[in-house]
Amino acid sequence: MNNNKTIGEDAVRILVAEDDQRLLKTLLHILEANAFSADGVTNGTDALVFAESGEYDALVLDIMMPGMDGIQVLKKLRNQNITTPALFLTARTEIEQRVEGLDAGADDYLPKPFSTSELLARVRAMLRRKDNYTPDLLKIGNLILNCSTQEIALGTQMQKLSGKEFQVLEMMMRNPCIPITTDQFITRIWGWETSVDTSVVWVHISNLRKKLERIGAPLKIRFVRNVGYVLEVDT
């Protein structure tokens, strides 16, 4: 089991149940890199035990698991009136199981293979449907990043970001004044797509600098040689 909170005790907690240990490790890394607290189990029996604790804000469940499949796990939880939002991971050919999963009380499903951005978008959408989940807004000074619309705003000035620009800026705004390396950006945003050239990160950083400057944002993205990129308030 992995339990690593990255933004303090109030971090959104997600339980991931996936019997493929390599994929499980990747999923946990993606979630933790995006400021979630993620725990992982590799079978349905453990998934049920941990989910019954009531300590999780969301569940990510593979359908095919040893001990008990994901659908059985969710049915047992729903029979106990445990309403934790649940996302099923499915193979593209498991159409009937997707329907059965939704009927069992799942909030959504995500076919494999999937991209990092799609996983995060579905998790956030699922969380937004919870009554106690606050809007996904990040703020530094007077600059606001709306994670739902992928826009930055300063007063009446607004700029729309591309998907990758948004992910780069979000990572920096969640970690202000902390150096982030090019490899860390690539791992978090592109996941296992390791063929991405490092220069791509520089391009997105360059575009972000222009958009921040365009609306007069008091922020600066500084490059520290052999360390990484740092988001700082421009005083």
Which residue range forms the structural domain that includes residue 188?
137-233
How far apart, in whole angstroms, are the C-alpha atoms of residue 223 and residue 205? 10
Q: What are phi and psi of 199, to 5 degrees?
A: -65, -20
Domain containing residue 20: CATH number: 3.40.50.2300
User: Can you say whether residue 215 is alpha, beta or left, with left for phi > 0 and alpha for psi between -120 and 50 degrees?
Assistant: alpha
Residue 223: count other Cβ atoms within 10 Å of its Cβ.
Answer: 12
In contact, 51 and 79? CB cutoff 8 Å: no
pLDDT at 25 over 50: yes
Strands (DSSP E) contained in the chain are: 13-17, 37-41, 58-62, 86-91, 108-112, 137-140, 143-146, 151-154, 157-160, 219-224, 228-233
Least confident residue range of 17-26, 38-47, 98-107, 206-215: 98-107
How far apart, in whole angstroms, are the C-alpha atoms of residue 112 and residue 50? 24
Q: What are phi and psi of 56, to 5 degrees?
A: -110, 145
- DSSP code string of 81-143: T----EEEEEETT-HHHHHHHHHTT-SEEEEES--HHHHHHHHHHHHHTSTTPPP-EEEETTE
Tally of CA atoms within 13 A in the half-sphere of 97 that contains its CB: 20
Domain identity same for 33 and 98: yes
Task: Give the pLDDT confidence of 132-146 residue by residue, as tens digits.
Answer: 444 467 888 889 998
Total structural domains within the chain: 2
Q: What is the predicted pLDDT for the residue at 22?
A: 93
Region 194-203: mean pLDDT is: 84
Q: What is the predicted pLDDT for the residue at 5?
A: 35
Region 175-190: mean pLDDT is: 86
**pLDDT more than 90, % of the chain:** 47
In contact, 45 and 91? CB cutoff 8 Å: no
Domain identity same for 108 and 202: no
Q: How confident is the model at residue 95 (pLDDT cuts 50, 70, 90)?
A: low
Domain identity same for 20 and 119: yes
Domain identity same for 119 and 154: no
For 15, 86, 190, 203, the CA distances from 32, given in Å and listed in that order, are 12, 18, 15, 25
Radius of gyration of the chain (CA): 19
Residue 73: inside a domain: yes
Region 219-234: mean pLDDT is: 90
Domain identity same for 147 and 188: yes
Domain identity same for 186 and 88: no
For 109, 165, 179, 189, the CA distances from 185, given in Å and listed in that order, are 26, 11, 11, 6
Domain containing residue 227: CATH number: 1.10.10.10
Domain identity same for 124 and 143: no
In contact, 143 and 131? CB cutoff 8 Å: no
Residue 182: inside a domain: yes
Region 77-93: mean pLDDT is: 85
Domain identity same for 25 and 84: yes
Q: Answer with the one of 93, 128, 163 that is the final residue of a domain.
A: 128
Residue 100: inside a domain: yes
Q: Which residue has the higher pLDDT, 40 or 130?
A: 40
Residue 2: inside a domain: no
